[in-house]
Amino acid sequence: MVRVTMGIIKDRLGTYYVQRKVPPRLQEAVARVLNADEPRRVHLKKSLGTKILKEAKAAAPHIVADFNRIIGEAEALLKEQPVVTALTDAQIKRMAESFYASVLAKDEEERREGTGLRAQTQRPPMTPQTARNDSGVVLRVLRGWVAPNTRTHQ
C-alpha cells in the first residue's frame, strides 16, 4: 500500500482507501461501536471506490467525518457512567409504576391499532389487575437486586 496523502492510501491494484489508526485506549470501544467480531479495532479503513486520485480526494472528507463520529461514540462509551449502588423504596416503586404504565400503554395501542400480536402469542388480553400483578413481580425483582443492607428507606 502506498500513502498518497494524509489518510488516503492506494492498494496494489490502484484503488484508493481512507485509513485511520485508532488510539490504543479506544480500540476495544470502537470494536463495540462497530459491532465487530474481533475484540479490538486497530485501524478504521474504507474503500473510496475509485482509482482516480481527484475523485478519491473529493470523497475522503465524508469518510473521515464518519470515522470521527465512530471515534466520538467510542469516547462516549468510555466516559465515566454514574454507578447506582443503592435504590430507595421510592425509586423502586417509581420503576415498577413506570413498567405498569408502559404495559398498559402497549396494550391500549395494540387494541387501538390492531397489531395482531395477541393472535401470534395467544396471551389473554391485559387487564389492570394482570398489569398490577406484573408490576408487583417487577417490584419484587428490583427489591431483590438491591441488597437489604444497601437499600435506603425514605
Q: pLDDT tens across 35-70, in order?
A: 888 999 999 999 999 999 999 999 999 999 999 999
**Domain residue ranges of the chain, discontinuous segments joined by +:** 2-78, 89-145
Q: Is 19 helix (H, G, I), strand (E, B) or coil?
A: strand
pLDDT confidence tier of residue 122, bands split at 50, 70 and 90:
low
**Over 90: is that where the pLDDT of 5 sits?**
no
